[in-house]
Structures are given as C-alpha cells and as structure tokens.
C-alpha cells in the first residue's frame, strides 16, 4: 500500500513518519521547496521528541520520501491524508478550511483508480461530505471516498501518541475504505489498541468533542483553584480527591494559566461555531472559553500583586514561553498575553525558554533574553513560571537567593516545592494553594486592572 500525506506540520509529519516506520511506503508533500529539501537532508523543522530519529531512519530504509509537487505522489497513492492547517477565522471563531479545499482541488485531477482521501486536519462537521461532492464533481469517473481520521496527538508526545494511542477513530461510509484504513493501523491494532469504525459525521464530532471536554476540565479546575485560595484549600489535593473517581479521571486537572496551544482554543471555538450553524448552543463549552480568556487578566494581576500592585520599577524574569513543556510552539500560549503586558508595565522583562526562544525573538518586542534560567533571573525582583519545563522544577535555591534581587516567584504551574524554597527565604506564590493569599502582601497601590485603564 502506498500512502501520501499532504502537509508536513505537527500532524502531517508525525503521521507520515510513523506510518512509514510501520513499513508502508509514504510520500509527504509540502509546497515549500526549502522545507522539503531540509527534510530530505534530515533537518526536522519542528521540535518534537523522537521525530527526527524516525524521519532519518525511514528515509534510510527508503519507506519515507518528500516532494513539493502533487503529481510526484498522488497518482499511485492508495490512501491520501490531508493534514494541512485549519486556523480560526477571527470574525466568528469558525475553522478556516480553505487550505483543505485547496489541497482537495489540486489532488483531484491526479486521482487514479480506487483511492481513500482521509482528513487528518481537524475540520468542521460536514467537511467530509463537502469534499466528497467536490471529488464527484471534478473527477466523476474516479472511485474516491472521503474518510474522517481525526488525530488525538499532544505536542511534546505526538510520536508516542501516534504509535501508542488510546484509540483510533475511522469515520467511513464505505467498507472498503474502512478496510484500507485498518490495514494502515494494523500494527497498532495488533497490540490491542481499539480501532473504532464509525460513520463520517461521528468521527468529525468526536475530535471536537474530545478537545472541548478536556479544555472544559482545565477551565473548571482553574476556577476551583481560585476558590481554594479564598477558602484555604489546596487545589492539587482537591484534584487528587476528585481525580481518583473513575468517572472523572485525574488527567487535565492541573491548575495553571489556562489552556493554549494549537488545538484547544481553536477547536473549542470551532465546535461552538459548528454547533451554532446547526442550531445547537454549546453553553458549557462557551463558558469554558470565556473563563479561559478571563484568566489571562488574572495572571498579570497576580504578578502585580506580588510586587505591591505596581510594576513600574520592577525587573521581571519570565521562565517559559512555549504553551507547554516539550514543544517550541507559541500558538495561543499564555505568554502571548502575559509577556507584552509585563513589558508594558514593568521596568524590564527578561525571559528564558529551553527551546522556544528562536520563535520568541520573531514574536515579542521589548523583551530581553537570558541564555540560561540563571541569566534571566539575574537581578530580578520577581520571577514568573509560565511553562513547566523540568529544569525549572529543580531550580537551586542558593542560586535563586544569590541571583535574584527579591526572592519572589509567581509559580503559575505549581511546579516548585514551595516549602523547600521557603526554608531558603524564597517566597513562592502558586495557584490554588492555601499559602498564596497570605504570601501576596496587602497594599493600597492601584491594581493592575486599574492601572491598565
């Protein structure tokens, strides 16, 4: 079986590399010729643990190749995956599927024989039906069917999630298409992974429903964290207590700065929009999106409170810029709101991230950088942990007291051992911890929100 993957972003490149590692012949297409040449030489343009090794190994085995022209890969393909971007349309939150449609229109004239076209891109409900109508119109003599095969990958562990998934969902209207897809995933199914074959609309809905539910869990536990701070509780203990209930589960119950990244913000908004187009209001998911947006202001307020309400003479160190550890992705990261506000309000802001600083230099203005965490912390009045990179969990307390001007850390990921650092005179202000309210000094200076007006 020959497989073609259109798009070499997080989803397309991971899918193509892993399927080729299963032993199938895979060609990945990208219109960017420079990117294609880089991939051919083993240079992977995204940070994803384990991906470069698979790409290079599969190229050496000649099961994986890269092309910039559709005619080099489409005509002989049995399965074509579309894995291009579907960003949010600013005006209404709907998903922009123009790249998906463009890919379908370009590949259609090249289809030969019986072909499965599978959408890996996250697309609105009904997209599969729209694509199938497009193929019937453009190539009426070709035997083509569209399958929905949503991805459930987490950046930072995408390779593992692909080869060891919780489940594989195949939304197919034709039995032969479902069989072709199951053949691709046979190495996974043989290890006991459930492969669910459903109708196309169900598969499209399942992707949005999964991400929206997980985003709602995050928004919920963050509001519980706010309650814990006022009531004297501990949000992690609350999360442990409810997470041990098998009906709830422990994952995505970690309080922090809110959900971000390339999926949750985009997919929740698109889920709401897709539902509204069909006359259904997603009230729960809408509330989660609103709560997540409101939390951004809360984060900056917390830093200001830690400094007596006024940041004008304060030097701030920001540790972590990526939306989560294990990736260099800044998309919808809390840093995109927090950092510009800190730059606007504080005397100086210096940041560090183990892998995301190259992308940050093209994103932020007025931000200084430290080559190491210690360099970023040098002379800081307050440090802010925005990303839970492992190296930040083990910050040396003696280094902190030696380097920082004031030993205050606003830990927005609850990644530090507050009691241990407290023994060295370092004040840690976490999320949803009982000591947080006592740690933040009372003051009569204007709040961040007032100063911003």
Instruction: Tell me the per-residue pLDDT of 29-48, one tens digit each, with 9 for 90 and over.
Output: 999 999 999 999 999 998 89
Quote the pLDDT of residue 442. Answer: 40
Q: What is the pLDDT of residues 144-162, one digit of tens each?
A: 999 999 999 998 899 999 9
**Mean pLDDT computed over 231-249:** 96
Domains 2-198 and 291-451 share a fold: yes
All structural domains of the chain with their residue ranges? 2-198, 291-451
Q: What is the pLDDT of residues 324-345, one digit of tens each?
A: 999 999 999 999 999 999 999 9
Q: Is the pLDDT of residue 444 over 50?
A: no
**Mean pLDDT computed over 192-218:** 97
Q: What is the pLDDT of residues 98-114, one digit of tens each?
A: 999 999 999 999 998 89
Choose, from 28, 228, 263, 307, the residue flagged as catalytic. Answer: 263
- From residue 403, give the alpha-carbon distance in Å to each of 204, 387, 392, 399: 51, 20, 15, 6
Buried b (16+ CB within 10 A) or exposed e, 57-69: ebbeeebbbbbee
Quote the pLDDT of residue 438. Answer: 52
Torsion of CA 26, 69, 131, 204, to 10 degrees: 40
Quote the pLDDT of residue 447. Answer: 52
State the pLDDT confidence band at 441, using cuts at 50, 70 and 90: very low
> Would you call 307 a catalytic residue per the annotation?
no
User: Mean of the per-residue pLDDT values for the chain?
Assistant: 93
Q: Is the pLDDT of residue 443 over 70?
A: no
Quote the pLDDT of residue 435. Answer: 62
Quote the pLDDT of residue 325. Answer: 93
Angle 363-429-448 (CA atoms, 0-180°, nearest 5)? 60
Q: Is the pTM of this model over 0.85?
A: yes
| Domain 2-198 coded CATH 3.30.720.210 | no
Quote the pLDDT of residue 261. Answer: 87
Contacts 24+ apart (CB under 8 A), 54-63: 54/17, 54/18, 54/20, 54/21, 54/159, 55/13, 55/17, 57/21, 58/17, 58/20, 58/21, 58/26, 61/20, 63/20, 63/21, 63/23, 63/24, 63/25, 63/26
Look at the chain and count its residues. 453
- From residue 240, give the alpha-carbon distance in Å to each of 118, 156, 211, 234, 433: 39, 24, 22, 10, 14
Considering the chain, what percentage of its residues have pLDDT values greater than 70?
96
* Assigned CATH class of 291-451: alpha beta
| DSSP-based three-state secondary structure for 387 | coil
**Mean pLDDT computed over 59-75:** 95
């Amino acid at each position: 079986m020959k497989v073609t993957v259109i798009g070499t972003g997080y989803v397309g490149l991971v899918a193509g590399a892993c399927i080729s590692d299963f032993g199938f012949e895979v060609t990945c297409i990208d219109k960017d010729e420079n990117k294609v040449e880089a991939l051919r030489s083993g240079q992977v343009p995204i940070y994803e643990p384990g991906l470069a090794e698979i790409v290079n190994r599969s190229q050496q085995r000649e099961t994986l190749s890269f092309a910039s022209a559709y005619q080099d890969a489409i005509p002989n393909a049995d399965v074509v995956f579309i894995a291009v971007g579907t960003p949010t349309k600013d005006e209404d939150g709907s998903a922009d599927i123009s790249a998906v449609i463009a890919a379908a229109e370009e590949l259609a004239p090249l289809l030969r024989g019986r072909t499965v076209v599978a959408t890996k891109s996250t697309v609105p409900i009904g997209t599969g039906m729209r694509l199938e109508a497009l193929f019937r119109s453009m190539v009426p003599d070709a035997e083509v069917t569209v399958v929905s095969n949503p991805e459930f990958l987490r950046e930072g562990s995408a390779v593992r999630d692909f080869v060891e998934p919780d489940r594989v969902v195949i939304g197919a209207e034709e039995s032969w298409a479902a069989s072709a897809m199951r053949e691709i995933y046979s190495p996974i199914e043989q290890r006991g992974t459930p492969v669910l074959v459903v109708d196309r609309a169900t598969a499209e809905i399942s992707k949005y429903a999964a991400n929206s539910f997980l985003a709602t869990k995050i928004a919920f536990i963050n509001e519980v964290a706010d309650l814990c701070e006022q009531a004297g509780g501990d949000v992690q203990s609350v999360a442990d207590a409810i997470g041990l209930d098998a009906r709830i589960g422990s994952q995505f119950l970690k309080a922090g700065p809110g959900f971000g990244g390339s999926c949750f913000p985009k997919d929740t908004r698109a889920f709401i929009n897709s539902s509204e187009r069909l006359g259904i209001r997603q009230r729960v998911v809408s509330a989660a999106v609103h709560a997540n947006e409101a939390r951004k202001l809360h984060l900056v307020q917390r830093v200001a409170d830690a400094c007596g309400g006024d940041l004008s003479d304060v030097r701030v160190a920001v540790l972590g810029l990526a939306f989560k550890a294990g990736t260099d992705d800044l998309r919808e990261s809390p840093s995109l709101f927090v950092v510009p506000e800190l730059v606007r309000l504080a005397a100086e802001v210096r940041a560090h991230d183990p892998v995301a600083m190259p992308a940050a230099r093209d994103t932020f203005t007025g931000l200084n950088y430290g080559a190491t965490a210690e360099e970023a912390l040098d002379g800081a009045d307050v440090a802010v942990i925005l990303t839970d990179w492992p190296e930040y969990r083990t910050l040396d307390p003696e280094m902190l007291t030696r380097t920082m001007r004031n030993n205050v850390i606003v830990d927005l990921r609850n990644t530090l051992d507050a009691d241990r650092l407290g023994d060295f005179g370092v004040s840690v202000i976490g999320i949803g911890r009982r000591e947080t309210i006592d740690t933040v000094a009372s003051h009569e200076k204007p709040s961040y929100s007032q100063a911003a007006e």
